[in-house]
Structure 1
Amino acid sequence: FEFIRLCQFALQSIQEFSYVLNQICNCIILYLICIHKNLHEPMYIFTAALLLNCVLYTTTIYPKFLIDFLSEKQIISYSASCLFQFFMFYTLGGSEFLLLAAMAYDRYVAICKPLQYQIIMRKTTVSISLVIAWLVPGCHMAVLAIASTEAKLCDFKIKGIFCNNAVYTLQCQRSRLITIFGVVTLLDLVILPMLFIVFTYTKIFIVSHQSCKEIRKKAAETCLPHLLVLISACLFYVYDVSIARVELDFPKTVRIIMTLQIVLYHPLFNPFVYGLKMKEISKHLKGLLSQAKFITSCLFILT
């Protein structure tokens, strides 16, 4: 019994540490982008929006997850809490794909049409892209969440640690509106942005391959982080869609591994990729760490 309690305490500590670490890492990069004027460019603004998504994303999952972990019974109200978590989770998930598509377009213009970059990627263009990235997924998911409130439930035990697509498995019969609009949402928020990203990066690859070594290096430095984040997001959404749309019954071990990716790995992946792989952010991050080390040394000497 003591061993079980010790294991629970260790898991709780790991979860709390990962949540705090995730928030700190994302907020540090956000802070650097805000205070440094040379980072007030479309590429870094989209990066900041993506990291803000991560902060909200983990806040949607972690607090309830930690409460459930400390409770003997894991209970959540369907209409209020569960569907709100469902709405926020997929709104932010859809927003991530649209932001990655906007970042891909920004890199396409910068590399393939450098002379027109300032004309095309104006503040208005960036602002419209951000509004679309957050508003369109919200409207899509609002329809699905409202439709789900009217559904009759035949099961009250959800397979998972939070309310994702698995909420559909609780319903006695999925309505035609949810089925059809769910496919439309998947097409609008995931498939079309992915196809657009593939198209833009194909064009970037062709142009950079035909150009000098310096342009190829620039393309690799700016595009690689976006591709890594896209691959990470795609791995989860393929699994997530498979649960509810294809209704595959994954083994418990697979579910745990994928849940760890959602809760621990993916939110921490973004700040590390952008902090280490993007040259300008990495430079400012090193400067911030040097300042922190200097202040720590001064405080140590004074004490």
Structure 2
Amino acid sequence: MDASTAPEVIRRPVPAHMAHVVSSISCYRERGLGLTNFRHAAPLALPLLINLGTPFRIALGRAPGRSDSQPSFVAGLFPGPVQIESDGRAICIQIDFTPLGAYRFYGGAVPDLTARMVDIGDLLGRDGRELGERVAEAEGWRQRLEIIETFVLERTVNEPSPAIAAAIGRLWRSAGAARISEIATDIGWSRKHLSRRFQNEIGVSPKTLARMLRFHRACELARSGSACGWAGIALEAGFADQAHLAREFREFSGERPTSWAARLAHTDPRLMREAGG
């Protein structure tokens, strides 16, 4: 990839006082080279994206078309591949919320975002529309990021229930291997009640989140080469067998494991630097 046309990605370290809400903060600017069939497989973050250039075309579980233009939007968890295209003129700032952070920010609206992308003004009203305008008028990445971070902190007023926070912690630390029935028993709830409360605050069931976490664990192992082939990855990531892993890969990434690995091997690295002025 020619460095003069490669997209610029600026990763801003998440401030310590936002770590309980946000997993990443980034600025993205294209310089002539757009995205074609770019995929995020079952993302574990819930994005808030402020568009400053040509909108991305984004679709869930399929290739995007012309009608899939997405300006500034928010989105929930989606247990499948998110496909993205752009024309080389996209510019945006993106805040990725953790599942618990999304509840802290959106409150009870989180389930309405599951497997959806919603215009920021439709969800956040006038405040959301004004946020986009203020960011567009700001000078430089630093000022834009400060505006968004202040906005996020001021609206982070909802607290998830301690039981759901504990359940997510167990699933996250175990990369989806913890038994949901045991989590429910330890909390003192039935599995059915845990699932209902979990969906109300996170947007998906604990079983779905556990599957997504196991899938991402398998992806990590494949990238690191720490396991012996796909059979070893399946075993280490907690799948019943290699066939089980292959089925999950097709659902969450839209590809076979070998096709996923081949695509990543040819993905061009993004240019990155720390956020400045």
Q: TM-score, normalised on structure 1?
A: 0.28
Structure with more relative contact order (C-alpha pairs < 8 Å, separation 6 or more): 1
Which structure has more strand as a fraction of its residues?
Answer: 2
Which has the larger Rg?
1
Which structure has more helix as a fraction of its residues?
Answer: 1
Q: TM-score, normalised on structure 2?
A: 0.30
